[in-house]
Amino acid sequence: MPRLVDHQVRRRQITSAVRRVIVEGGLEAVTFQSVAAEAGISVRLIQYYFGTKREFLLATHRSVMEDAGARFMKRWAALGDDATPREAISALLNELLPLDDPRREEAIVLGVFNMAAITGQGITSEETLAAPRALVSILADQLRRAQYPEASADPDLDAELVTVAVGGLAQGMLAGFATAQSAVDLVDHLLDRVLGTNDDHRKPPLR
Partner DNA sequence: ACTATTACGATATGGATGTACCATCAAGGT
Partner DNA sequence: ACCTTGATGGTACATCCATATCGTAATAGT
84 binds its own copies (CB under 8 A): no
Q: How far is the CB of 49 from DNA (least distance, A)?
A: 7
117 binds its own copies (CB under 8 A): yes
**Pairs from 86-89 (Cβ < 8 Å, separation ≥ 24):** 86/146, 86/191, 86/195, 86/201, 86/202, 87/203, 88/142, 89/139, 89/142, 89/143, 89/162, 89/191
Partner touching 179 among its own copies, DNA, none, CB below 5 to 8 Å by kind: none
Residue from 40, 80, 120, 205 binding its own copies (CB under 8 A): 120
Q: Are 95 and 72 in contact (CB under 8 A)?
A: yes
Query: Of the listed pieces 5-13, 62-70, 76-84, 125-133, which binds its own copies according to CB under 8 A?
Result: 125-133
182 binds its own copies (CB under 8 A): yes
Query: Whole-angstrom Cα distance, residue 93 to residue 75?
Result: 10
Query: Of the listed pieces 34-42, 45-53, 64-72, 178-186, which binds its own copies according to CB under 8 A?
Result: 178-186
Query: Whole-angstrom Cα distance, residue 121 to residue 69?
Result: 24
Q: Are 56 and 15 in contact (CB under 8 A)?
A: yes
99 binds its own copies (CB under 8 A): no
- By the criterion CB under 8 A, which residues form the site for its own copies? 22-29, 108, 111-112, 114-121, 125, 128-129, 132-133, 152, 154, 157-158, 160-161, 163-169, 171-172, 174-178, 182, 185-186, 189-190, 193-194, 197
